[in-house]
Structure 1
Amino acid sequence: MTPTSTPTTTQNRDTGTADFGTRIGRVEAAAYRARHYALNMGEVQGQGYVGQALGSADMFAAVYADQLRYRPEDPLWEDRDRFLLSTGHYAIGHYAALADAGIIPVDELDTYGSDDSRLPMSGMASYTPGMEISGGSLGHGLGVAVGMALGLRLKGSPSRIFNFLSDGELDEGSTWEAAMGAHHHQLGHLTALVDMNALQADGATRSVLSIEPAADKWASFGWYTQRVDGNDAASLLAALDNITRDAGITGRPSVILCDTKVGKGVPLLEEREKAHFMRIEEHEWQICREQLTTGHDGKAAR
C-alpha cells in the first residue's frame, strides 16, 4: 500500500522554524512516498523513466517539502516560488512531488500517460497544475529560468526560481549561454539543481560527451557551486541552507550538482542495464514496491 501524506499550505519557507533533524525526516518521508507514486505511475504504462524518478526523488523532496513557497489550492499564486523542470521526461518524478505537495490529487496519478490525462509522459505547462514550463528539448530550461528571474526582479518580487536540469544538459551550449547570462545579471534568486546520474539515452555521460570537471566549470562561470550526494537528505538540505542564507534578488546564482543513482531505493532496478527508459515486467512491480519498503523500514530502524 502506498503511504499517504497530508499536504499543508506552505506560504513561508520553513528552514528556520524546524530543527535540522525534523527537516531531514520530513524530506526522507516525502521522497519515500514519491518513489511509491512513481512506481505506481510506471505500472500504468509498464515502462517509462522510472529510474530517473527514483534517483531524483530526494532532490524533488528537498525542494518541495522544505524550500518551496507555494499554495496547493492556488498553483498560480503570484508570490509563489517557481520550480522549472527543464528535463521534461522527468515529469513522472515531478508529478509524484506535486501530488505529495497536494497540488494535484494523488488519485490522478493513475491517469499518467493516458489519453486526455493532465499528466503526459513529458511535462507540459498547458496541461498540469504546478508545471511552470513545457520540457522536452533539453537545454532550454535554464534560459527560461534566467528570463523568469529577470522578470520577477523587475516586478520587485521576492520569489525564488529553482531550475532542475540533468547532467546530459551540460552537453548543450544553450545551458552555458544561460549560465553566463545569470552571472552577468547577478540573479541571486536563481538556483540550479543538476541530476548527475551519469546516464544519458545513448549511454554513460562520460562516454557520450565528458562534462567533468563539472564543478570547476560552473564556478568559472561565476556561480556559487556545491557538489553533494543527491540521495542524502542531510547533504541536500545543508547545501540549500548555504544558498538560502545569502539568497536575494541580486548576487551570485547558485548550482548544486547532485550525484544520484538511477533506480535508487529499488535494488532490482539500481543495477538494471538500459536504465534510461525502463521496461519492467508485470510481475516485477510488486517486487519493486516491497524492496522500496524494506529498504526504507531498515533505514528507519538504524
Structure 2
Amino acid sequence: MMNMLQFEAGVLEKLNAKAHWVWRETLKIHRQSQETRVASSLSAVEIFVTLYYGGFLRFDPANPLWELRDRCIISKGHGSLCMYPILADLGYFSVTELEKVCKEGSFLGGIPDPVIPGYETINGSLGHGAGVGAGMALGLKRKGRNQSVYVVTGDGELHEGSNWEAFMFAGQHRLDNLTVLVDNNHISMLGPTDEIISHRSLIRKFDAFGWFAIEVADGHSVAAIAKALQDCRREASGKPSAIIVNTRKGNGVPGLQDAPLSHVAAIKPDLIDQLIGER
C-alpha cells in the first residue's frame, strides 16, 4: 500500500529515473506488439509515473479492489500502454506478462479493460471516463469517505459532449475529491485538434464550469506535474480540479513526435533498438 510522499531531496530524481524506465519499457512492448498505440502512450508517461510513484494515489497491489483505495480512471485507454510496466513493477501482476502483450492467452491487450489488475473501468470507447469518475466521486462523498478520484483524459477525447456534461455535474455538486488530468498533446486520430475542433483555452472553460483549473507548461516534467497536483490539493476546496498537462505526442521518438498522424503510426523495430540503446 502506497502512502503520501514528501518531495524531499532525491524523490524527484527517482521519479525522473522511473519515467525514463517506463518510456523504454513502453517502446519494448511496442516492438513486439506493433498494433499498440504507442504515440498516445508516450505523451502520458510522466502523468502516470507521478500519480503512481509520487504518493498521490492510495492503492494496494495485493488487493486491487481494496475498499480504501483512491480511484484512477484511465479514460484514454488506448494511450495507456505505459501503464503495463508500471502495474507490473508495482506488483499487480508478474513482469513476465509484459512479454505477452496482445498475444493469445494474455490479459494485456492493445485496449485495456478491467480484467487487468489495477484498471478500474472499461476504457475502449472514449468520452466516458469523466462521467464515471464524477459518479464515483459523488458516491464517495455521500458515504463520507475521504478517497480521491483521478481521471486521465486525452485532449481529442474532449470533443465528446459527454465529458462536458460530467464537468457541469461535478461543478454543480462541488466534487472537490475529483481531479481531471488532460493529456493535452494537441493531436487526435485525424490530425491536430485545433484543426478539427479547437479547444482554445481549456483553463477558461473549466473555470466557467466551476472548477479550479491550472496548466502545466512542460508535461514531461514530473516536478511540474507533482507541483500542480499539490496545488490542487491546497487550493481547490469546494471545487473539482482540472490540470491541463501540455505534452508531446510520441515524445522522444524522431519522426513520430508531434507528427499529424502519429496516433496510428508504428515505430520501426530498428529505430526502437537504436533509441533504447541511446538511453
In which range does the TM-score fall when normalised by the shorter chain? over 0.9
Match of 2:191 in 1: 203
Match of 2:227 in 1: 238
Aligned CA RMSD, in angstroms, stands at 1.7
Tell me whether 1:252 sits opposite 2:239 in the alignment: yes
Match of 1:55 in 2: 43
Distance 1:33 1:230 in 2: 17
C-alpha deviation, 1:156, in angstroms: 2.1
Match of 1:139 in 2: 127
Name the TM-score, length of structure 1 as normaliser: 0.87
Deviations 1:123-160 (A, max 9, x none): 201x1000001112111000000111111122222111
Give the 3-state SS of the residue equivalent to 2:87 in structure 1: helix
Residues paired across the two proteins, number: 277
Counterpart of 1:91, as a letter, is S
Give the 3-state SS of the residue equivalent to 2:163 in structure 1: helix
Tell me whether 1:13 sits opposite 2:4 in the alignment: yes
Tell me whether 1:122 sits opposite 2:122 in the alignment: no
Runs of 4+ in 1 over 3 A off after TM superposition: 266-269
Q: Indicate if the aligned counterparts of 1:31 and 1:57 stay in contact, CA closer than 8 A.
A: yes
Q: Which of 176, 180, 183 is equivalent to 1:192?
A: 180
Counterpart of 1:33, as a letter, is W
Q: Indicate if the aligned counterparts of 1:143 and 1:174 stay in contact, CA closer than 8 A.
A: yes
Match of 2:29 in 1: 41
Counterpart of 1:260, as a letter, is T
C-alpha deviation, 1:116, in angstroms: 2.2
Deviations 1:180-201 (A, max 9, x none): 1001111111000000001111
Cα distance, 1:91–1:81 mapped onto 2, change above 3 Å: same
Name the TM-score, length of structure 2 as normaliser: 0.94
Deviations 1:236-267 (A, max 9, x none): 1110111122566xx10001000001122333
Match of 1:288 in 2: 275
Deviations 1:49-87 (A, max 9, x none): 111222210011110011111112111111011110111
C-alpha deviation, 1:176, in angstroms: 0.5
Give the 3-state SS of the residue equivalent to 1:30 in structure 2: helix
Match of 1:155 in 2: 143
Give the 3-state SS of the residue equivalent to 1:92 in structure 2: coil
Give the 3-state SS of the residue equivalent to 1:226 in structure 2: strand
Q: Indicate if the aligned counterparts of 2:149 and 2:179 stay in contact, CA closer than 8 A.
A: yes
Deviations 1:184-223 (A, max 9, x none): 1111110000000011111111111111111111111111
Tell me whether 1:263 sits opposite 2:254 in the alignment: no
C-alpha deviation, 1:102, in angstroms: 2.4
C-alpha deviation, 1:271, in angstroms: 5.5
Distance 2:89 2:10 in 1: 18
C-alpha deviation, 1:47, in angstroms: 4.0
Point out where structure 1 has 5 or more consecutive residues left out of the alignment. Answer: 1-8, 294-302
Matches within 5 A, 1:47-126: 47-66=35-54, 67-125=56-114
Q: Indicate if the aligned counterparts of 2:128 and 2:162 stay in contact, CA closer than 8 A.
A: yes
- Percentage of matched positions with identical amino acids: 35
Tell me whether 1:225 sits opposite 2:213 in the alignment: yes
